[in-house]
Homo-oligomer: A and B are copies of this chain.
Amino acid sequence: MSVARVTEISATSTTGFEDAVRVGIKRASETLRGVRSAWVKEQQVRVEDGGVIEYQVNMMVTFVLDD
C-alpha cells in the first residue's frame, strides 16, 4: 500500500454493533474502491420504552488510492 484515504462512516442496525459495522462497510464499498480496514470510533444506541431499538457505529474507513 502506498497512499490511502480515511473517511468517517456512520451506520446503524437493529441487530447489534457488529452488524452496524458490516452494514457500513458494505455501503461504503459500493461507493469507494479499495476499502481495506475500519477503526471503530464510537458506539451508540437509540432507546425507546426502556429497550434498545437501534445500534450505531461511527468508523474511520481506510481505502487505498494506489497500490
Contacts and interface: CB of A to CB of B under 8 A. Distances in A.
Contact of A2 (B12, B22, B51, B60): B12
B58 A27 contact: no
Given A5-B10, A7-B5, A16-B18, A25 B51 contact: yes
Task: Give chain A's interface secondary structure class.
Answer: strand
Interface string A23-57: 11111111100011111101111110111100100
Nearest to A50: B29
A18 B17 contact: yes
B10 A35 contact: no
Contacts of A7: 5-8
Contacts of A37: 44-47
